[in-house]
Structure 1
Amino acid sequence: MAAAEATPLEAAFEKLATCVKNQQHKKALKACADILALAPGDEDALRCQVVAHMQLQEFQPALTLLNKAPLSALPLGFEKAYCLYRLGQIDEALSVVAAALAAPDLEPAAATPLLQLQAQLEYRRGHSKDCINTYDKLFQQYKADSLELKTNVLAAYVAAGLSAELPDLMAALKVKPRDSFEVAFNRSCGLVEAGQLGTAEGELRMALKTGRETLFEEDLAEEEVEDELGPLSCQLAYVLGRMGRPAEAAEIYDKLIRGTATLSDESTRALAHSNAVADAPHRLEPGPQNRKYINSATKRLEALIERPGGGKAAAAAAAAAGEEGGAGSVGALAGLLARHTPAGSLPKFVEGLESRLGAGQKLQLLLNLGLLYQVGGRADAARELVGVLAAAPGGSADPHVALLSAAVSLSQGKTVDADRTLEAFISSCGSGAPGAPPASAAVAPSLMRAQAALEAGNAAAAAALLAGVRDEAVALSGAMVATRVALYEQMNDPAGAEALLDAAVSTWKARSASDPAAASGLGWCLSCAIGLKLRLGKLEEAKQAFKQLQSSGAAATAAGAATLARLARACALADPASAPGLVGPHATAPSAATLAGLDLDALEEGAVGGRAGAGGKVGGKGPDLAAGELAAAARAKRGGDAMDVDAQPKVKKSRKKRKPRYPAGYNPEVPGGGLPAPNPERWLPKWERAEFKKKRDKRKREKDAVKGSQGAGKVDEDLDRSNAPAPSAAKAQPAKPMLPPQKKKGGKK
């Protein structure tokens, strides 16, 4: 008996099943439309239509279907929350997930994907602690044990600032970096957060090697492998930049940005653009040599942001127009963002980045764009963008926003506005108000205020600002102490420098007991304190400080030896009896053979005289290394001038000062010599200078030339030599007679 023919609805469903099996999502949408034409409102067809839209990255049509009947009444919370997540609506997605998890008839099989999505949403929202709690619930209540979940837990711990706990966590989860390159990547991120950059570089290189081996085994092409490993390469470049190897970092960034194949991960490409700017400070210096790089980098970052009213297509078109039209359109985006971005929100990024980037990453990208505006001479655009960032969530508590605002004011000569901006931010740090920045955030603005005061020539204000830094770890660090001591000496305030060094010595001494690396800082502070006390005439205190230097073990270093020599010379002048006991334990007595041919008197005076020439001006009243006093003391010990009775005084020959020879037209009394200012583009090749004019092509110059047979036109017959008459006989010259051959002189006969 022949089988009954399938109905049109059954045939449509068979066609849909074939499309789903073959991953033909566009054809599946057409099959769903055929089914709905035959059976309007069919739930199975509508659900397949939603999934097909999601597979094609068409989340808005899928969300529209989910919000309409009859799907709106079905338990499709996971699909709806995922569409909201991919559309960048994180808070709405979290609300949908929470409502779905609170359903009384929720099955455990449906709860697992909802909890995984909830953890991902909490991670994107920046709630790392909540994300970790959700993963703990998955592991403990639902017995989840996949490697992907374990990898995500490592990322959550790094984002929560718990990188120190990663080794114990990996041991508890029974995962190792060699299990997958994703695990090794998250482990390296934890090492970067912990400051172990060298170990992180090794982990990243091992992860890249493991990833290439794994992906090549899956028969992926080389370009696909490099695309999959793009995040690892970007992280390696970041680590190399932090380690002071910008050339290697720039090479990796260049491959990621200008490679033959464009990275499929838009977030990695965006971070590569931003980090390439941050790791190349020499390319941001003002000057014609960096103008092209700054313009191109600005256009690349502007292309990542959605232009208000245009979406992704408008952003791409604007970027292309910017590439062709030069610098005219660069910076116009800042004005659009200032007019159309609502207060309390960040500007939207292009599709694909809006949901992938966190709020901190978006803020950092916009800050780098503002920096490019500022160094590129677009101060107005930078100021408009700073206004948008200051009104964004967390912008007022970010010190980088305040620093950028002050930098823009300083570039426009508004020193008072810049100082007020920084002062207002510093006063808000550590105030305890909701959303106020922590006290540690005031360090960078304080340093910038001090730098601005120094550039204005106000050393006293700079010293007071540095003294007001409340972070003890920074206030008594080696660089800060050295800077403040230099400022005190510049202001002729040795007492302030002495008090600062004493406080630094106490702090570093307490630190050296638990931190072996603090011994070098303690040695430096003690050496500076000894030199300062010698200049102030406090010899006994200098001796006590040197004993502390001995106990710390820094006296055996080269700096310690120089400090000992300085202290010994001062003791030889003020307290000769204590000098041998001070130097003896550290100096080996020379042998008799070494001392046999030495003139000690000449050596002593020669050393003192050499020191007088090499040393600088010595202030203070104490027995420091003043060459004149030591020379007088040496002569007094040998009986004064009685030793030099028979010697004739040496008269120093005066050299005639050579008159300087100036170039032609140079006037030394006029600033710049009266010569015109040099061309700032003189270091550029000629074809890159503004005044260069391209020569006209020779082929174009000869394009309009008359061509044809030569001599075809009428010419002057007087110029034709063929018609010239033959010379007459009267004018012919007589022939010269033949001369007999002459003998050459000196030839052989």
Structure 2
Amino acid sequence: MSEKTAREKTIAAHYAELNKYGENGEYERALKTANKILGVAPHEFLAFYCKVVCLLELSRFDEALTQINKNPEYLQNLVFEKAYCYYRLNKLNEALKTIESNDGNLDYRTKELKAQILYRLERYTDAYSIYQEAVKNTDDEYEEERLTNLYATMVYLGSDKMDNFEELKEPTYELCYNKACMLINLENFLEAEKKLKQCEKMYLEKLEEDDDITEEEADIELALIRLQLAFVYQKQGRIKEAQALYTSNLKLKLEDIALQSVASNNIVCINKDQNLFDSKKKMKVALNESLVYKLPSLQRKHISFNNAILNYYINQTEQCEKICQDIISKWPELAANVNVLRAFNLVKVEKIDEAVALLEKNVNSDKLYINLCIAQLYLIMGNKLEACKVLENIGEETYKPGIIGALTTLYLGIGNESKALEVFEKAVEFYKRNKVESGDLSVLYKQAAAFHIRNGHPQVAANSLEELLLVNKIDKKISAELVLAYAQFDKDKSLKLSKDLPSVKELSQGLDLESIQTLAPVAIKKSPGVKPDSQPGTPRTEESKKRRNKHKKRKGKLPKYYDPNAEPDPERWLPKYERTGYRKRKDRRSNKDVIKGSQGTSSGQSEQYDFSSKRIEDYSSSPANTVSPSPRGAHNKQQAHQKKANQKKKNRRR
């Protein structure tokens, strides 16, 4: 047999061995066998490919990547494997470059890996396009996994890609879960709650059918569903239910750090400025370093911001400022909210001027919100006038009903009534000029009219009510208010307008007078000068007077043996022991000759038990001066037995 034939036989035997190990999942042995083949035939590509696959299965990604880079001649055929190594090592940009450098000839699995990399890089639109294409053009056993990934990308795309939301399939609990996440993203929390409960039911049914699922895997999947349900409860304001679910699932000590982090962060949000020690512990879990690769940036930035707020609550002002600076450098879109927190952090250390200056620099980012915060800071300083100036200089936002109400309240607090009136006048002019016909206008006119009537300006109030009547001609309440306003300065016009109001007959139409008369009278609070059995201004009838006269006062009872001729005792109001003829009753127990002990000792034993005559020196010289517990129960029994024996002796003598 030639050397070449023997070599081929050896390689064939090793390949058979390699195939057997691969089928059994014995990748360590398979790796050794692949190395044996490469030792005999160094350029055997199939053996090299098997070696790389074994390293991937054993999660030795660095080693696999090194082997691929050492053999660049095989790179064209190992694009997927190289990109997958980078992906698992969290080097997402390098993974994407590897795929895009060979983008002309990609198989379906490499395209799906690219979609997954794009998803992790938060390029959701690109990932969605690839998954959508893969779902349309492939038909194999992995269809449900592709749909799951497609739905996962749709969660982050918003309502744009959800036109056919109702048509989305949900045969598995994973698809049902992702559909629930879409509903949460659309803030449809009631439907999301139903979908999550359906999802949990589907998974429990799967557990009954599938015995291969371990208890740990089941706990993780159920915890994922239940923690999402807890978030839905939290958004609905059902805080106790949410907190119970968070706490119970965290007790499971799940290995998935992402789940622990999200649940811990949400508990910190529930705690707010309470249970700060618990919040501090939970925040440590939420800030795990490995979460950079496990949570999207949206969740990570919210966790960081919550950490800054927590440090503000626990008075760690320097740490709070440091975290805020870090958030602004990583996520500039959060600058407006973070700067507000920084400003209030400065207020804590009594640097209010610096806080105002900081907010004024960032006023363009969110004009209304930042200006309201500046006004609040001026109010903290007690400077109401500056707060008013800020609220008056925010453009069209100044004419919102809430801000108008705040301005009038502040000006009245200062005592500047004319300025408060001016605020209303400017607001009315603004709404007239811009021809606003929304609900805000009617609210504003009502506020203005009420304010002017309270402050003794019925003419201005009448103008506001007339404008309001033009918008809402049907409302008779406005007409009635206008009649009352005109009655204060133009009685003729008031009388004319009152004719348009409904008559008493029209108002009383449909009322059951008999039922009103039979109703129990309402209890009326007594007022000075009003008698209890009549309403103010109601004259009494003859019948009521007679009924009242029937009730006569009873005569008081006289004491026993009362003598009307005798003068009453002048000391009758004093207690007996203070009267002159009072004698203290003699106490039989005051006789000191008879002394009885706890067991009925006679007077002959008085000296034995009378310690008042003994001196301290006599007691201290006694040999029994140590303190020890006395057996009181045994002593009592002994005396009882002695008593019985004496009694028996007496009986015998008789």
TM norm. shorter chain > 0.5: yes
User: What is the aligned partner in structure 2 of residue 534 from structure 1?
Assistant: 453
> Which of residues 206, 213, 226 is equivalent to 1:233?
226
The separation in 1 between residues aligned to 2:219 and 2:435, in whole angstroms, is 48
Report the CA distance between 1:249 and its aligned residue: 1.7
| TM-score when normalising by structure 2 | 0.66
Alignment deviations for residues 256-285 of structure 1 (CA, whole Å, 9 cap, x no partner): 3222x4143x3233222222222332xx24
The separation in 2 between residues aligned to 1:450 and 1:248, in whole angstroms, is 37
Report the CA distance between 1:406 and its aligned residue: 2.7
- Preserved contact between residue 27 and residue 54 of structure 2 (Cα < 8 Å): yes
Matches within 5 A, 1:206-285: 206-219=198-211, 220=213, 224-259=217-252, 261-264=253-256, 266-281=257-272, 284-285=273-274
| TM-score when normalising by structure 1 | 0.58
User: What is the aligned partner in structure 2 of residue 197 from structure 1?
Assistant: 189
The separation in 1 between residues aligned to 2:404 and 2:202, in whole angstroms, is 46
In structure 2, relative to structure 1, the CA distance for the partners of 1:271 and 1:591 (3 Å cut) is closer
Matches within 5 A, 1:113-512: 113-138=109-134, 146-161=143-158, 163=159, 165-168=161-164, 171=167, 175-176=168-169, 178-219=170-211, 220=213, 224-259=217-252, 261-264=253-256, 266-281=257-272, 284-285=273-274, 290-302=275-287, 304-305=288-289, 350=290, 353-392=291-330, 394-395=331-332, 398-427=335-364, 429=365, 441-466=366-391, 482-484=405-407, 486-487=409-410, 489-491=412-414, 492=416, 493-500=420-427, 510=437
Report the CA distance between 1:455 and its aligned residue: 1.7
The CA RMSD measured in Å over matched residues stands at: 4.2
Matches within 5 A, 1:38-117: 39-40=41-42, 42-69=44-71, 73-102=75-104, 106=105, 110-117=106-113
Report the CA distance between 1:300 and its aligned residue: 1.9
The separation in 2 between residues aligned to 1:57 and 1:221, in whole angstroms, is 21
In structure 2, relative to structure 1, the CA distance for the partners of 1:395 and 1:295 (3 Å cut) is same
Matches within 5 A, 1:575-724: 575=491, 576-577=494-495, 580-581=498-499, 583-584=501-502, 588-589=507-508, 718-719=623-624
- Preserved contact between residue 446 and residue 465 of structure 1 (Cα < 8 Å): yes
User: What is the aligned partner in structure 1 of residue 466 from structure 2?
Assistant: 544
In structure 2, relative to structure 1, the CA distance for the partners of 1:571 and 1:197 (3 Å cut) is farther
Write the letter of the residue equivalent to 1:152: N
Alignment deviations for residues 29-52 of structure 1 (CA, whole Å, 9 cap, x no partner): 454455555555654344334333
In structure 2, relative to structure 1, the CA distance for the partners of 1:72 and 1:149 (3 Å cut) is same
User: What is the aligned partner in structure 2 of residue 617 from structure 1?
Assistant: none
- The structure that has the greater radius of gyration is 2
The separation in 1 between residues aligned to 2:43 and 2:264, in whole angstroms, is 47
Report the CA distance between 1:529 and its aligned residue: 3.5
Report the CA distance between 1:236 and its aligned residue: 2.2
- Preserved contact between residue 246 and residue 280 of structure 1 (Cα < 8 Å): no
The separation in 1 between residues aligned to 2:402 and 2:174, in whole angstroms, is 39
- Preserved contact between residue 395 and residue 401 of structure 1 (Cα < 8 Å): no
Q: Which range is displaced more, 139-148 or 73-82? A: 139-148
Write the letter of the residue equivalent to 1:274: N
Report the CA distance between 1:95 and its aligned residue: 1.5
The alignment partner of 1:54 has SS state of helix
Report the CA distance between 1:94 and its aligned residue: 1.8
The separation in 1 between residues aligned to 2:177 and 2:399, in whole angstroms, is 36
- Preserved contact between residue 230 and residue 245 of structure 2 (Cα < 8 Å): yes
Unaligned 5+ residue runs, structure 1? 306-349, 430-440, 512-518, 598-602, 607-715, 721-749
Report the CA distance between 1:69 and its aligned residue: 1.6
Write the letter of the residue equivalent to 2:226: S
Report the CA distance between 1:5 and its aligned residue: 13
Higher relative contact order (CA closer than 8 Å, sequence separation 6+): 1
Larger fraction in helix: 2
Write the letter of the residue equivalent to 1:248: E
The separation in 1 between residues aligned to 2:393 and 2:56, in whole angstroms, is 56
The alignment partner of 1:247 has SS state of helix
Alignment deviations for residues 572-598 of structure 1 (CA, whole Å, 9 cap, x no partner): 54445157446537972489989999x
- Preserved contact between residue 267 and residue 357 of structure 1 (Cα < 8 Å): yes
In structure 2, relative to structure 1, the CA distance for the partners of 1:452 and 1:7 (3 Å cut) is farther
- Preserved contact between residue 152 and residue 178 of structure 2 (Cα < 8 Å): yes
Report the CA distance between 1:566 and its aligned residue: 5.8
The separation in 2 between residues aligned to 1:129 and 1:471, in whole angstroms, is 37
Unaligned 5+ residue runs, structure 2? 1-5, 519-523, 528-620, 626-654
User: What is the aligned partner in structure 2 of residue 624 from structure 1?
Assistant: none
Alignment deviations for residues 288-307 of structure 1 (CA, whole Å, 9 cap, x no partner): xx3421331232234x02xx
- Preserved contact between residue 127 and residue 153 of structure 2 (Cα < 8 Å): yes
In structure 2, relative to structure 1, the CA distance for the partners of 1:114 and 1:442 (3 Å cut) is farther
Report the CA distance between 1:130 and its aligned residue: 2.6
In structure 2, relative to structure 1, the CA distance for the partners of 1:6 and 1:296 (3 Å cut) is same
The separation in 1 between residues aligned to 2:387 and 2:442, in whole angstroms, is 26
In structure 2, relative to structure 1, the CA distance for the partners of 1:424 and 1:543 (3 Å cut) is closer
Report the CA distance between 1:543 and its aligned residue: 2.8
The separation in 1 between residues aligned to 2:517 and 2:463, in whole angstroms, is 37
The separation in 1 between residues aligned to 2:517 and 2:292, in whole angstroms, is 83
- Preserved contact between residue 41 and residue 70 of structure 1 (Cα < 8 Å): no
User: What is the aligned partner in structure 2 of residue 322 from structure 1?
Assistant: none
- Preserved contact between residue 154 and residue 187 of structure 1 (Cα < 8 Å): yes
Q: How many residues align?
A: 507
The separation in 2 between residues aligned to 1:251 and 1:506, in whole angstroms, is 54
In structure 2, relative to structure 1, the CA distance for the partners of 1:420 and 1:269 (3 Å cut) is same
- Preserved contact between residue 124 and residue 153 of structure 2 (Cα < 8 Å): yes
- Preserved contact between residue 271 and residue 279 of structure 2 (Cα < 8 Å): no
